Chains A and B, each alone.
Chain A
Amino acid sequence: MRGTSRAEGAGAGGTVASSRADSAVFLGVRHHSPACARLVGGAIEELRPAYVLVEGPADMNDRLDELLLGHELPVAVFSHYRDETRVATSWTPLCDYSPEWVALREGRASGAEVRFIDLPSWHPAFAERADRRTNRYADAEARYAEATERLCAHFAVDSVDALWDGLFEITESETTEPGGDDLQARLDAYFELVRGDAEADSGDRAREEYMASWVRAALAHAGERPVLVVTGGFHQPALRALSRQRDDWSDGSEEWPEIPAPPPGAIGGSFLVPYSFRQLDAFAGYQSGMPSPGYYQQLWEEGPQAAAQGLLRTVAERLRTRGIPASTAPLIAARGLAQGLALMRGHAYETRVDVLDGLAGALISDDLDQPLPWTGRGTLGAGSHPVVVEMVAACTGGTEGRLHPDTPLPPLVHDVAEQLARLGLADRDRPFTVDLTDPDGLARSQVLHRLRVLGIPGFTRLSGPADGADPVFAERWEPHPAGGREAALIEAGAYGARLDEAASVALGERARSAGTEAAPLAGLLFDAVLCGVGPLCDELLEALAAQVGQVPELGPVGEVLTAALGLWRHDRVFGVARGRLLGSVVAGAADRVFWLAEGLHGGPGVDLARLRALAAARDALLHAPELLSVTREAAAEAAARIGRDRRAPADLRGAAFGLRWALGVPDDPATAVQALASTAADSLGDWLAGLFALAREEVTAGATADGEPLIDVLDGIVSAMTEGDFITGLPALRQAFAFFPPRERERIAERLLLRRGKHGSARSLLRTTADPLLLARARTLEENVARLLDRHGLGRVG
């Protein structure tokens, strides 16, 4: 039997059982591998099996016809699941060159019974996969990284993808003789080797048990005809062993395994969604299976030579359309390099990596900020070289799948239709107002905002609150004819099965791409509040907290912190007070404020934004300590360090001093002020501004170590200033005292009058009624008189 590998234990002396098991043919494949797909096609043609069993969600078995309606690939089976403890979404993507797809299509065409035999995607067996956005056909290779690392070292290649291409996709025998023995033998050896090294987790074992039960049932039903089992290579050795465990093969009595039903109370389902190569490539790391679907599609259709040339051509075209120079000479050089590399690496034709390496060598004449993405298993980072970006995009390809019109729609479509109808939004045709303080109005508003953040056309907001502090409690919306709405909804279905979940995931994605600018982040945060994505937004929370933790400037991060903390403490409209969404943002922002504050250096001047940031951090420490990873003690220590840092701006040092005071660990303000006045009097105003911004109440209420109010100490210092110093320092001092509200300023003025033993209206000290110009002229006149007296020896008598 060419091109197949029979289960072990075959032989003339075998028992009935073993001869039965013998008619099972196990094909271990790598998902999304054209070489494996070809192998599957060859095996079906040759074996004419009674059953073709495919690794895929068994709950789709009744609906296989749906898959074969005649879609334009790629499409995916989208599965979602939610219960009280767990949310999971999963895709089972299929493209032309998927071995599973070939098994499905060719199996049907040859008259075999085709069955998916894996557990449904919602099953807890998949729960151990860390990533929520999972691909059923992800590489299991993450688990045998050690074995593949050794292989990579042995064959001297950088990544498992390069290794795979060299060993299996681009080989001499494969091109001359499709489905050759040689390839099958090498595949088996490869999977034996890596499986031998890896520890299958309990999820894998459960899945393999289940798949084996299908194999046994199929064998019992097949009689003497062969059964073809197409699964990931990782499972194949175990499946082979498990399928042989049964001894009695009473004819026909083997029951088909039951398809597990979701536990009561859980929501789940599977739907076909149109897929694209871009999406297929967008899974991160091992989740993506084999990267570069565009390239492999061409490899599948036209063979390795055409794929290599096509890749080169596509990259050149893309670069030229983008206006990046790619003249003939470097392209020839790239070709030459690629061929040289293929020769050196022992490839029959240039592989994907050979071509990419050649192009990179010849086209990039700059230093790179990041390693070439195909040397590892990462995704393309920000700041990648434009040539690299185009190269990766060329590999990805732009193919988009399309569903047959008869395909059932993803659940989001129905969810949205139902919600719009329930809330009376479905057939509005003129602008309407929703009242946010009314529960129904809020629900309407949230649904409309969720649609908005998902980019689904149909409603536009005309007016409403602009941010969390905006005291507007009504929104006005305008419905309009919605072209492309249906398509947008189906696409949004990939974000989640329900509108709130979908909005949350979409916001999370936006958060990750928002960069570190504070303004879009704040907008995003408020969008999240408007959408009311409460319980289901882990991804969004993480993304937001991570982004906030990277805002590069103190002022903006302070704004985010102020807004988030305000809503977290006081919101009564949106229902987000004390919620996790804002809690995590508060935590991330407060951390970031301390990180940025310590280490900030600069010259004179008061920066109100950074003072507000520290004040916000103070509020967070005082009112929401349970959210923060910074303890009071750590914050006080950090503040002490800032206060001592001579190169930190004076206002920040003052603010740090004030922060310690506000946290209840004051140092003696009198000493600090006096030291400052004697060494750097010109920064006194800035320093005080910082202090008052953070610890105004403490200043008014508290006293220095000697029991003397700080105001008295300051009065002493200011009185002792020379005329010049006073004039220079006046604007900063004025600014500092502006932090006191009028009533407190009046009290300070009273105290000053008292100190001088004078009586009178403190208020009149604060508000001059005379024209300032007149005052200035009077002052000049007085000075002139004084000078005149001095000159004639009449001044300073006594």
Chain B
Amino acid sequence: MTVTEEQLQRPPAEVRYAGELAALRAADADPRPPGWQLSLRAARRFVVGDEQAGISRKFVGNVSLVERALVTLATNRGLMLVGEPGTAKSLLSELIAAAVSGSSALTVQGGAATTEDQIKYSWNYALLVSEGPSPRSLVPAPMLNGMAEGRIVRFEEITRCPLEVQDCLLSLLSDRVITIPELDGPQGLVFARQGFNVIATANTRDRGVNEMSAALKRRFNFETVFPIPDCDTELALVEAEATALLRQSGVEAAPRRDVLEVLVGTFRELRGTAERGERMSTVMSTAEAVSVAHAVGVRGWFLRGEAGSAADVVASLAGTAAKDSPEDLARLRRFLEQDVPRRKGGQWQALHDARHLLAD
């Protein structure tokens, strides 16, 4: 049974942007690094967009970050994207993998239970018992596939893996070969083909990169992805994403701009960009802002048949901004009580008036 693109909740980047990738490939005159599907410049254009060529902007952030990332991948070092949760690290790695290798599917999802098997290879035990070790009974995992095919492998949340599992990447990244001791002869060595590299992501909240071994750190170039610095850009992004999400959820009213303004303003303030220097322990990322905007729209539409108001923002914030920390809730309350009244215009007054919705 095949699944058409429409039925997928979220098709991978190479499917979503197949047309753009094809156009870029066709028009690409610059030299390509060995094993790459696109040249560096074309890959950059795919990620940061090119209005004239009809390539959409997919990543809102520093262009130089994308450039550094791409050049890093063309060398023999891996790329490590670090940053707060919700800063589009995974999106960026997906886009880059799609641009460079034409596929973002080779992904290892790191977690406390990740084992070496899931990274390199494992066995089909029935075949292993009946036939002994052979290429037929070998079940390759993303790294082995990536090396054999010369593609980018994504390693999500690498720091959530146990340290000893992380370190199995060491030889793989420096020698660029996986040995399979169970197989004899040349089959026991899988050399990386041109085009293989690793993009790892790590968030700075759960467990930072400090615990990573120095040896492994050395094999990566680090790029920190920051929250969107510019308020208007973030607002535009939240508006676009929330509108799309709301449409998917069957909400017909587009989100109100003035409500989104106070929402994004609140997020930016609480994120600690403010001068007070007190950070929320909860993540106040753009992604969270989008999900609150989504929730606001859904509340407004399905409860009252309208676009959602500042009061909905307050009601939805309690669940986001104060997930499990009473300190955060207190900070949010203080913000609504003390700071919001000083702000003029728009929906700020409405936000202040709705502060009682922030339940204890």
- Known A-B contacts A550-B276, A550-B277; the reply to A599 vs B74 at CB < 8 A is no
Q: Beyond A375-B62, A599-B331: 11 further Cβ-contacts under 8 Å?
A: A158-B64, A330-B218, A336-B75, A353-B64, A365-B80, A365-B217, A366-B209, A367-B83, A550-B277, A595-B276, A601-B327
Q: Provide the A201-223 mask, 1 if CB < 8 A to any CB of B, else 0.
A: 00000000000000000000000
> Which residues 184-223 of B sit at the A interface, judged by CB distance below 8 A?
202, 204, 208-210, 217-218, 220-223
Cβ contact within 8 Å between B62 and A371: yes
B40 at the binding interface (Cβ < 8 Å): yes
Residues of B at under 8 Å CB distance from A?
40-41, 44-45, 48, 62-65, 67-68, 70-72, 74-75, 77, 80, 82-83, 202, 204, 208-210, 217-218, 220-224, 226, 229, 275-277, 326-327, 330-331, 334, 337-338, 342
From A337, A516, A647, B72 is in contact (CB under 8 Å) with A337
CB < 8 Å neighbour of A341 from B68, B220, B226, B275:
B68
Q: Does A165 contact B (CB under 8 A)?
A: no
Chain B neighbourhood of A156, CB < 8 A: 44-45, 48, 63
**Sample of 20 A–B contacts (CB below 8 Å):** A156-B44, A156-B48, A156-B63, A333-B221, A337-B68, A343-B40, A344-B71, A345-B67, A357-B64, A366-B222, A367-B83, A375-B64, A375-B65, A376-B229, A516-B277, A550-B277, A595-B334, A598-B337, A601-B327, A645-B330
CB-CB under 8 A from A158, the residues of chain B are 62-64
Chain A residues near B334 (CB-CB < 8 A): 595, 598-599
Contact check, A344 vs B75: say whether CB atoms are below 8 A apart.
Answer: no
In the complex, A343→B75 CA distance in Å?
Answer: 13
Take A337-B68, A337-B75, A550-B276 as given contacts and tell me if A371 and B226 are in contact as well, using a CB distance cutoff of 8 Å. Answer: yes
B40 & A344 in contact (Cβ 8 Å cutoff) = yes
Q: Is A638 an interface residue (CB 8 A)?
A: yes
Are B224 and A367 in contact (CB-based, < 8 A)? Answer: yes
A364 touches B222 (CB 8 A): yes
User: Least Cβ distance of A25 to chain B in Å?
Assistant: 36
A611-666 CB contacts (< 8 Å) to partner B: 629, 634, 637-638, 641, 645, 647
Residues of B within 8 A of A364 (CB): 222
Residue of B nearest to A346 (CB): B41
Q: Which of B63, B221, B275, B342 contacts A337 (CB 8 A)?
A: B221
Among A336, A340, A516, the one with the most B-chain Cβ atoms within 10 Å of its Cβ is A340
Decide if A157 is an interface residue (CB 8 Å cutoff): yes
- Residues facing B in A322-364 (CB within 8 A) are 329-330, 333, 336-337, 340-341, 343-345, 353, 357, 360-362, 364
Within the complex, the shortest CB–CB distance from A660 to chain B, in Å, comes to 16
**Which residues of B sit under 8 angstroms from A368, Cβ to Cβ?**
224, 226
Q: Digit string of A656-688 for contact with B (CB within 8 Å is 1, else 0)? A: 000000000000000000000000000000000
Query: Given the interface contacts A341-B67, A595-B338, does A367 sit within 8 Å of B220 by beta carbon?
Result: no
Contact of A594 among B44, B72, B338 (CB under 8 A): B338
A745 CB to closest chain B CB (Å) equals 37
Chain B residues contacting A344 (CB-CB under 8 Å) are 40-41, 44, 67, 70-71
A595 to B77, alpha carbons, bound, how many Å? 48
Closest residue of B by beta carbon distance from A365: B217
Nearest CB in chain A: distance from B106 CB, A: 23
Q: Please determine whether A340 and B220 come into contact, CB atoms closer than 8 angstroms.
A: no
Distance of A371 Cα from B338 Cα, bound (Å): 30
Binary flags per residue of A358-389, CB closer than 8 Å to B gives 1, else 0: 00111011111011100110000000000000
Which of B67, B275, B326 contacts A550, CB < 8 Å? B275
Q: In the complex, A367→B83 CA distance in Å? A: 7
With A156-B44, A158-B63, A367-B82 as given contacts, are A549 and B275 in contact (CB-CB < 8 Å)?
yes
Residue A524 at the B interface, CB < 8 A? no
**Closest Cβ–Cβ distance, residue A175 to chain B (whole Å):** 23
**Top 10 nearest A-B pairs by Cβ distance?**
A340-B71, A367-B82, A368-B224, A365-B217, A361-B221, A344-B40, A156-B63, A158-B64, A367-B204, A361-B68
Least distance between B296 CB and chain A CB atoms (Å): 26
Residue of A with least CB distance to B40: A344
List, in ascending order, chain A residues with CB within 8 A of B224's CB.
367-368, 371
Closest to A369 in B: B224
Known contacts A367-B209, A550-B277: A157-B338 contact under CB 8 Å: no
Q: For residue B81, which residue of chain A has the nearest CB? A: A367
A162 contacts partner chain B, Cβ-Cβ < 8 Å: yes
Which chain A residues border B217 with CB–CB below 8 Å? 365
Q: Note all chain B residues with C-beta closer than 8 A to A375.
A: 62, 64-65
List A residues 569-614 near B (Cβ within 8 Å). Answer: 594-595, 598-599, 601
Which of chain A's residues has its CB closest to B222's CB? A365
Which residues does chain A contribute within 8 Å of B65, judged by CB atoms?
375
- Closest Cβ–Cβ distance, residue A620 to chain B (whole Å): 16
Residues of A within 8 A of B337 (CB): 598, 637-638, 641
A629 to B342, CA, bound (A): 10
Q: Complex: how many Å from CA A345 to CA B44? A: 10
Which partner residue on chain A sits nearest B31 by CB separation? A343
* A159, closest chain B residue (CB): B64
A361-B223 in contact given A156-B48, A594-B338 (Cβ < 8 Å): yes
- A336 CA to B202 CA, complexed, in Å: 25
A387-398: CB near B (< 8 Å → 1, else 0) gives 000000000000
Contacts of A594 in B (CB 8 A): 338
Closest to B69 in A: A361
Instruction: Chain A residues near B77: list those with CB within 8 A.
Output: 333, 362
Q: How far is the CB of A521 from the nearest CB of chain B, in Å?
A: 15
Contacts of A601 in B (CB 8 A): 327, 330
Closest residue on chain B to residue A327 by CB atoms:
B218
> Residue of A at shortest CB range from B224?
A368
Query: A353: nearest residue on chain B (CB-CB)?
Result: B64
Q: How far is the CB of A342 from chain B (nearest CB, A)?
A: 10
A341 CA / B67 CA spacing, docked (Å): 7
* Residue from B40, B75, B208, B229 within 8 A of A371 (CB atoms): B229
CA distance A254 to B48 in the complex (A): 56
Q: Are A333 and B204 in contact (CB under 8 A)?
A: no
User: A616–B209 Cα gap in the complex (Å)?
Assistant: 45
Docked complex Cα distance between A156 and B63 (Å): 6
B218 close to A365 (CB less than 8 A): yes
Given A341-B68, A344-B71, A595-B334, also A365-B62 (CB < 8 A): no
B75 with A333: CB separation less than 8 A: yes
For A357, list chain B residues within 8 Å (CB).
Answer: 64, 67-68
Min CB gap A203→B, angstroms: 27
Closest residue of B by beta carbon distance from A357? B68
Interface bits A15-48 vs B (CB < 8 Å: 1, else 0): 0000000000000000000000000000000000
Select the residue from B48, B63, B210 with max chain A CB neighbours within 10 A: B63
Nearest CB of A to B161, in Å: 17
